[in-house]
């Protein structure tokens, strides 16, 4: 008997890409899922686009939650986490693309390893989500100290078992790079993330996206070291050096 997988997606000004993301979820070979789309009070036509898609697909596994005011990605994701009914929890960003076996492969890996937290390799895509051939490979295991110098866990590749990891640890703090901060708080609590070195996701990176702004990325990771993890200056510099090196290598 299959168990329910809850997928949580924060949505903000995503009307341009969401239809492709919907198709990638509907194409999943694992069928027992629910998908919670949380619109973070988008100022454009995002909600109308989603409603049009839902009316066309008529799939009651997909739910749309509309927030009354903008609260940021962390708040939107946490709203989805609180609404999730499944044993398993997966995050998916509104512009990324899942491969058809993404859920089933992660569940199989979870059962093989006995893990409560798994993540996979992914491929960078262009604005049209066409793979660029640049793949980020992942280690077999990742623990807290290792994770501080390698932000290799990508949000749309993660899967959690709520019977093994307390759901409160999956609530994201309201800080820049809230997803990385969340993985760290889970690992800091003593859990291990198990990597599946197989590409299951296309990470769409439109030109000018925040993730492509290197100076902003450095500022964010430094903020996590100093203000969230409370690391000293020496430890922060050492981890930043390792992070910068690995981030450069995976983009070559």
CB 87 within 8 A of CB 3: yes
The whole-angstrom separation of Cα 79 and Cα 24 is 23
Rounded CA gap, 108 and 12, in Å?
Answer: 32
In the prediction, which pLDDT does 208 show?
A: 52
Tell me if residue 19 falls in helix, strand or coil.
Answer: helix
- Number of helices and strands in the chain (H, E): 8, 10
pLDDT score recorded for residue 217: 87
What's the alpha-carbon Rg for the chain, to the nearest Å?
A: 17
Tens of pLDDT, residue by residue, the chain (252 residues): 689 999 999 999 999 999 999 999 999 999 999 999 999 999 999 999 999 999 999 999 999 999 999 999 999 999 999 999 999 999 999 999 999 999 999 999 999 999 999 999 999 999 988 999 999 999 999 999 999 998 899 999 999 999 999 999 999 999 999 999 999 999 999 999 999 999 999 999 876 554 557 788 899 999 999 999 999 999 999 999 988 877 766 555
> Cα(55)–Cα(251) distance, rounded to whole angstroms?
40
Per-residue pLDDT, 79: 98
Question: Domains (ranges, CATH) in the chain?
Answer: 5-208 (3.90.550.10)
């Amino acid at each position: 008997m299959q168990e329910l997988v809850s997928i949580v997606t924060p949505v903000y000004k995503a009307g341009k890409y969401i239809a492709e993301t919907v198709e990638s979820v509907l194409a999943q070979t694992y069928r027992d899922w629910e998908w919670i789309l949380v619109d973070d009070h988008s100022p454009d036509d995002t909600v109308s686009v989603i409603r049009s898609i839902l009316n066309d697909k008529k799939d009651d596994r997909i739910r749309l939650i509309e927030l009354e005011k903008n609260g940021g990605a962390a708040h939107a994701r946490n709203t989805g986490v609180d609404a999730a009914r499944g044993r398993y929890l997966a995050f998916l960003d509104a512009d990324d693309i899942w491969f058809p076996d993404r859920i089933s492969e992660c569940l199989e890996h979870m059962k093989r390893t006995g893990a409560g937290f798994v993540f996979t390799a992914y491929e960078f895509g262009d604005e049209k989500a066409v793979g660029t051939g640049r793949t980020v490979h992942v280690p077999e295991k990742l623990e807290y100290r290792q994770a501080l110098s390698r932000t290799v866990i990508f949000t749309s590749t993660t899967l959690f078992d709520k019977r093994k990891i307390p759901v409160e640890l999956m609530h994201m703090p309201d800080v820049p790079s809230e997803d990385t901060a969340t993985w760290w708080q889970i690992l800091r609590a003593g859990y291990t993330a198990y990597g599946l070195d197989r590409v299951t996701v296309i990470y769409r990176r439109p030109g000018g996206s925040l993730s492509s702004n290197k100076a902003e990325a450095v500022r964010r990771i430094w903020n996590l070291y100093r203000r969230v993890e409370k690391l000293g200056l020496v430890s922060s510099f050492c981890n930043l050096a390792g992070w910068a090196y690995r981030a450069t290598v995976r983009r070559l």
